[in-house]
Amino acid sequence: MPKLNVLVAGSTGYIGLQLIKLLVKHKYVNIKYLCGNSSVGKKISNFDKSLSNIKLPKIIKFNKKLLKDINVIFTALPNGEAQDISKHLNKDIVLIDLAADFRLEKSSDYSKWYKQKHRAANLIKKSLYSLPEISGKKINKYQIISCPGCYPTSILLPLIPLFKNKLVKVKNIIIDSKSGYSGAGRGVHKKYKNKNLYESLSAYGVGYHRHNSEINQMLKKFTKKNIDFIFTPHLTPMFRGILSTIYIDLENGVTQSKVIKELSNFYKEDIFVKILKVDSLLSTNDVINTNNCHISICKSKYKNKIIILSAIDNLIKGGAGQAIQNLNIKFNFPIKTSLQ
């Protein structure tokens, strides 16, 4: 089988570097171009020493002429930039975006939450918001694949099956998520220069974090009711990993064991989602450097309420790994390829 020629745009950020480290292990991929802006002419190993002994192209500036021999573009760019690249796609190129450019189905919602006009609104209908375990083979119909945000990945994987099967109430949901500081991107130290990232815990985006929009959009697909949830993210003094704690009310007659059984059945064919034994405690350490999501359903002191724990590696399952999982589904490669 001939290898896919791949271009990575935004190759020096935390997600871009993680993507490259996974792609170099992918036996069906050839990394043809690495693109950046401020890093043009540099070796990618300047940004990650673990890539020093791997033959990779030097970083160049993106231009549309590069696309003549490309099969797949991965974009790990600031919000808005993948929209510009998408305008140059021919019908044979697949775009897999790791930013937010095609996550929202309405351009007006994008403008509201991201404070900029969508520059490729006519292409939104050609894109799919693809959480792989949920989207499955639908991905085959779309040229532009939008990867979910890291927080929503940890939240939607446990909640979608429960909403779909009407096991939990759609009101009074509290979502408390904590992420390693890599989730804020390479500019995190400049952005939070007055905070001690290595020894403090910081809440941010309180009440209005952008990921509220995609969480709400996806959950509403599985219920006709209005959803009432509060989502608060935090940066923690660790580099990577997300732990989301979700407090949610059960529908009448639903038990903790029924929830665990439903999730176990829903994900029985999905090797990257693991439903743990009842009341299991988990940590980000259980999933670091993997494409796994671990989910635990815990009882609370209230009979009709459960506490869901969900852990992922934000750079892999919440980013680069999920992008490759989508690639593998789209091109019918074994799902584990480069993700073991």
Per residue in 278-310, pLDDT tens?
999 999 999 999 999 999 999 999 999 999 999
**Tokens (6 digits) for 274:** 């693991």
Query: How much of the chain, in percent, has pLDDT values that exceed 70?
Result: 96
Residue spans of the domains in the chain: they are 4-148+318-330, 151-314
CA 191 to mean position of chain CA atoms = 22
Confidence at residue 7, expressed as pLDDT on a 0 to 100 scale: 98
Reply yes or no on domain 4-148+318-330 having CATH 3.40.50.720: yes
Is residue 33 within 8 Å of residue 43, measured between CB atoms?
Answer: no
Residues with catalytic roles? 150
- Which CATH superfamily, name and number, covers 151-314? Dihydrodipicolinate Reductase; domain 2 (3.30.360.10)
Average pLDDT score over residue span 261-277: 97
Instruction: Kindly report, residue by residue over 81-97, the tens digit of the pLDDT.
Output: 999 999 999 989 999 99
pTM: 0.94
Confidence of residue 186 (pLDDT cuts 50, 70, 90): low
Give the pLDDT band of residue 187 (cuts 50, 70, 90). low
Q: Per-residue pLDDT for 199 more than 90? A: no
Which alpha helices (H) appear in the chain, and where do they start and end?
A: 14-23, 81-86, 107-114, 132-135, 150-164, 188-191, 211-220, 256-266, 321-330
Question: Residues 114-142: pLDDT tens digits?
Answer: 999 999 999 999 999 999 999 999 999 99
Under 8 Å between Cβ of 170 and 163: yes
pLDDT given at position 188: 67
Distance from C-alpha of 263 to C-alpha of 173, rounded to nearest angstrom = 18
Give the residue-averaged pLDDT of 166-171: 96
Q: State how far Cα 212 lies from the chain centre.
A: 14
